Amino acid sequence: MKRLLLVLLVLVLAAAGLAAAAVWYVRPAESLDLAYREVDFNSKFKDLIRNRQFAVEITDSELENLLKKRLSENPNLAPGVTVTGARLERDKDIVNIHVNLLYRGKVRAGLVLRYDLSWQSPNLTAVFRGASVRGFTIPEGWLNPGDFKIGVNEQLPSALGVREIVFGDRAVTVWLKLRNPLSSE
């Protein structure tokens, strides 16, 4: 009986130690927030007219501000999981979003969410491709925040629409077109 109690005690202590190690391991490696600045599209449109080019560049910093604004409006990634901070890294059409999360209001975690970007008129679409913690991939069924869309046309004056989006090294270039006032586009 004493032996069984000792084995149970060792198992409970080992489980507690593993749980504490897991919480320590997933803690955020960097301090992130959801503070953002509004992207001034009006000045971009003035530059468009001044430069006589029918394209607008959205820098990675501006893209990050758009992402943080969206996350600020709805920080719940999944039931019981709240985003408390984010940072974006982009390599052409691949985006890694570093996020700090709060799980059930108690456990802090830092994850990297990987998305593929594409232009699917009328939205800039981000398709979820996976998540990792400190370089280790999280199994597919454990976390799936899903895909999301950013309505780029909503940011434009009513006379303009998006023709194409090109994912460059330094920025995302939005090529514009004139909208037909009679169409529902």
- Write out pLDDT tens, residues 98-120: 999 998 988 899 999 999 999 88
Q: Where are the beta strands (DSSP E) in 73-182?
A: 76-78, 81-91, 94-103, 107-120, 123-133, 136-137, 148-151, 160-167, 171-178
| pLDDT of amino acid 118 | 92
Q: Which two tokens stand for residue 26?
A: 């997933």
- Which position has the higher pLDDT, 97 or 6? 97
Domain-embedded: residue 116: yes
Domain-embedded: residue 183: no
Q: In the beta sheet, which residues pair with residue 160?
A: 178
Does the structure show a pLDDT above 80 at 76?
A: yes
Contact 173, 165 (CB under 8 A): yes
**Rounded average pLDDT over 70-86:** 89
Does the structure show a pLDDT above 60 at 184?
A: no
> What Å distances lie between residue 4 and 9, 17, 80, 107, CA to CA?
9, 20, 37, 33
Q: How far apart are CA 179 and CA 161, in angstroms?
A: 6
Residue type, 36: Y
**Rounded average pLDDT over 135-144:** 84
User: Which of the given ranges, 42-56, 71-85, 153-167, has the highest pLDDT on average?
Assistant: 71-85
Domain-embedded: residue 184: no
Contact 174, 47 (CB under 8 A): no
Domain-embedded: residue 165: yes
DSSP secondary-structure letter at 161? E
Domain-embedded: residue 167: yes
12-16-17 Cα angle (round to 5) = 115
Does the structure show a pLDDT above 60 at 30?
A: yes
- Which position has the higher pLDDT, 13 or 156? 13
Q: How far apart are CA 181 and CA 162, in angstroms?
A: 14
Q: How many domains is the chain partitioned into structurally?
A: 1
Q: Which of 53-62, 106-115, 139-148, 164-173 has the lowest mean pLDDT?
A: 139-148
| pLDDT of amino acid 45 | 76
Domain-embedded: residue 38: yes
> What Å distances lie between residue 77 and 15, 84, 155, 159, 164, CA to CA?
28, 10, 24, 35, 29
Domain that holds residue 78: 2-178
Regarding pTM above 0.85, the answer is no
| pLDDT of amino acid 183 | 61
3-state helix, strand, coil in the chain (%, to 5): 30, 40, 30
DSSP secondary-structure letter at 154? G
